[in-house]
Amino acid sequence: MTAPRIVLVGPPGAGKSTIGRRLARALNTSLTDTDEMIQQRMGKPCGEVFASLGEPEFRRIEEEEVAKALTREGIVSLGGGAVISERTRDLLADHNVVYLEVSVKEGVRRTSGNDSRPVLAAEDPEAHYRALYESRRDFYESVASFKARSDERSPQRVVAEILSYLDDACDEGI
């Protein structure tokens, strides 16, 4: 089985699902979303799985689903916290990984009012999001082959930037 052309990582609200769908369409391939895989496996939304099992067990399940997803062809979109797992970071070493970067302000705007993300539930959403992002930023950067800013840009523009990167990577034999 062919490895995915690209794996998308980034914090909640960075646009992984939106960009992933559009990128898959542009490349005429499939999109595998690991959050959707967890939901199908567990029979309930990821947020409920996270809340009921706790983070350690959720991350263990997520690691298993990421490993399966990385055997599939096409685009793979990882959950925002997947990169905190060393096992997942090791699995990403052999893949083209795009880090979708978003500002804290925009990430909060995109995720506010979304009660399906218990990891973001806080009295001060901006401070909580900032702390979460800061704790993960080095992991996103360490696995990334390419970084694309997803705020202040249309999804089409972000996809065009990623496609340009892929063309350059193919030209260089990456």
Look up residue 34 and give its amino acid: T
Q: Is 70 left (phi over 0), alpha (psi -120 to 50) or beta?
A: alpha
The annotation status of 26 as a binding-site residue, yes or no, is no
- Helix-then-strand count for the chain, H and E: 8, 5
The annotation status of 13 as a binding-site residue, yes or no, is yes
The annotation status of 20 as a binding-site residue, yes or no, is no
The annotation status of 34 as a binding-site residue, yes or no, is no
Which tokens sit at 157? Answer: 């523009």
The annotation status of 68 as a binding-site residue, yes or no, is no
The annotation status of 15 as a binding-site residue, yes or no, is yes
The annotation status of 87 as a binding-site residue, yes or no, is no
The annotation status of 79 as a binding-site residue, yes or no, is no
The annotation status of 43 as a binding-site residue, yes or no, is no
The annotation status of 124 as a binding-site residue, yes or no, is no
37-42: long-range pairs with CB below 8 Å, 24+: 37/65, 37/68, 37/69, 38/62, 38/65, 38/79, 41/65
Name beta bridge partners: 155.
none
The annotation status of 149 as a binding-site residue, yes or no, is no
Look up residue 150 and give its amino acid: S
What is d(CA 35, CA 114) in angstroms, rounded to the nearest whole number?
15
The annotation status of 10 as a binding-site residue, yes or no, is no
- What's the CA angle centered on 62, arms 40 and 90, to 5 degrees? 140
Residues at the binding site for Mg(2+) are 17
Which residues participate in the annotated binding site for substrate? Answer: 35, 59, 80, 136
Q: Which residue ranges are tagged as binding site?
A: 13-18, 35, 59, 80, 117, 136, 153
Could you list the residues known to form a binding site for ATP, using ranges. 13-18, 117, 153
